[in-house]
Amino acid sequence: MKWITRERPKIDRIACPWLIKRFVDQEAKFFYVPFEEVIPKSKELGAIPFDLPEVEYTHYGDECTFDYIIKKHKLDDPVLKVMAVIVRGADTDRHDLASQSSGLWAISAGLSHNVKDDHVLLEKGMMIYDALYSWAKHLQHVKHTQNPIENLLLDVYKKFLKHKSGKIPEWAKELKEIIQDQIDTNLSLSLKELSESLNVHPSYLSREFSKYFDDLSFGDYIRKLRIEKAIVLLHDPKHTLSEIAYLTGFSDQSHFNRIFKKNTGMNPSEFRKSLDKK
């Protein structure tokens, strides 16, 4: 079978040939021509036009040509349904449909910018969709992260939150240790991030947090740990107050001074001077 569409493809006009070659017709041949030549050339070549208005293989409603091919050819591979949402989101600028859509668009747009030959572009694009298929089939739940707290929090959830027991939940005990361990390197912890990692609704975590964390809210508890870290750093004269404010995650020194005084009764410079007298 021969297929023809507009030149300079990016999303649908690369994704559809991949879908056709992999699941409909391995011997399919594709032609890219200027928009105004697609229909005349399709008749001349005996090719099926796709991804342009007023042809069978095109967009319908909110769905793109990739969706139509899946339905038309009754492709029941569940992996393709996962991919279809990603392709649709990228092709129709609905990046809210799937978190991967914006990445697919960025890669496809960059590839189109770099590769001027449409058939070379298709060849390289086939590799992208082979990779996306493998991800959707085998790797959807595999995460690559440079931040170890995410995996630690997931471990807490799996070990404890699913099986609550005891007066003080084990998740609360371990979460306290995790936060303490991470405070030196991850000062941007937020309740939203933690709730997402634990798969617990943020309102529940916020409501329950103070019961097991010194009767403090999440924000107050984090500030308490920051102040404790600041006290340790103040003992080292090589650090300026501005540096300590930065190292403990405060937005500026004045904010640091205000919170420090609220918690200790004196500002950081006064506290440091009191250390010299001891």
Dihedral over alpha carbons 89, 95, 98, 101 (to 10 degrees) = 70
pLDDT digit string, tens, across residues 111-151: 999 999 999 999 999 999 999 999 999 888 766 554 454 45
**Are both 125 and 159 inside the same structural domain?**
no
Domain end call among 139, 163, 193: 139
Nearest to 119 by CA among 247, 4, 246: 4
**Are both 102 and 40 inside the same structural domain?**
yes
Residue 274 near residue 234 (C-beta atoms within 8 A): no
208: confidence class by pLDDT, cuts 50, 70, 90:
confident
**Are both 125 and 152 inside the same structural domain?**
no
Structure-block tokens of residue 164: 């609550």
**Are both 180 and 109 inside the same structural domain?**
no
pLDDT digit string, tens, across residues 212-221: 787 888 778 8
Q: Considering all CA atoms of the chain, what is the largest pairwise distance in Å, rounded to the nearest integer?
A: 94
Lowest model confidence (mean pLDDT) among 72-86, 214-228, 255-269: 214-228
pLDDT digit string, tens, across residues 83-121: 999 999 999 999 989 989 999 999 999 999 999 999 999
Domain end call among 73, 106, 139: 139
**Are both 12 and 131 inside the same structural domain?**
yes
**Are both 125 and 197 inside the same structural domain?**
no
**Are both 22 and 117 inside the same structural domain?**
yes
Specify the pTM.
Answer: 0.55
Q: Whole-angstrom Cα distance, residue 86 to residue 97?
A: 7
**Are both 135 and 167 inside the same structural domain?**
no
Position 214 scores a pLDDT of 79
256: confidence class by pLDDT, cuts 50, 70, 90:
confident
Position 259 scores a pLDDT of 85
Share above pLDDT 70 across residues of the chain, in percent, rounded to a whole number: 78
- The per-residue DSSP string of the chain comes to -EEEEESS--SHHHHHHHHHHHHT-TT-EEEEE-GGGHHHHHHHHT-EEBSSTTSSBS-BTTB-HHHHHHHHTT---HHHHHHHHHHHHHHTT-TTS-TTHHHHHHHHHHHHHH---HHHHHHHHHHHHHHHHHIIIIITT----S-HHHHHHHHHIIIIITS--SSS-HHHHHHHHHHHHHTTT-TT--HHHHHHHHT--HHHHHHHHHHHTTT--HHHHHHHHHHHHHHHHHT-TTS-HHHHHHHTT-SSHHHHHHHHHHHHSS-HHHHHHHHHT-
**Are both 17 and 112 inside the same structural domain?**
yes
4 or 144, higher pLDDT: 4
Q: Whole-angstrom Cα distance, residue 72 to residue 57?
A: 9
Domain end call among 87, 108, 139: 139
Lowest model confidence (mean pLDDT) among 42-46, 82-86, 167-171, 255-259: 167-171
Structure-block tokens of residue 73: 């050819």
**Are both 232 and 252 inside the same structural domain?**
yes
**Are both 214 and 258 inside the same structural domain?**
yes
The range of the structural domain enclosing residue 220 comes to 148-276
173: confidence class by pLDDT, cuts 50, 70, 90:
low
Is a pLDDT exceeding 50 seen at residue 157?
no
Position 61 scores a pLDDT of 93
pLDDT digit string, tens, across residues 62-77: 999 999 999 999 999 9
Q: What is the CATH number of the domain that holds 153?
A: 1.10.10.60
Number of structural domains in the chain: 2
**Are both 128 and 23 inside the same structural domain?**
yes
58 or 158, higher pLDDT: 58
Structure-block tokens of residue 31: 């032609």
Q: What is the mean pLDDT of residues 1-13?
A: 96
Query: What mean pLDDT is reported for the chain?
Result: 83
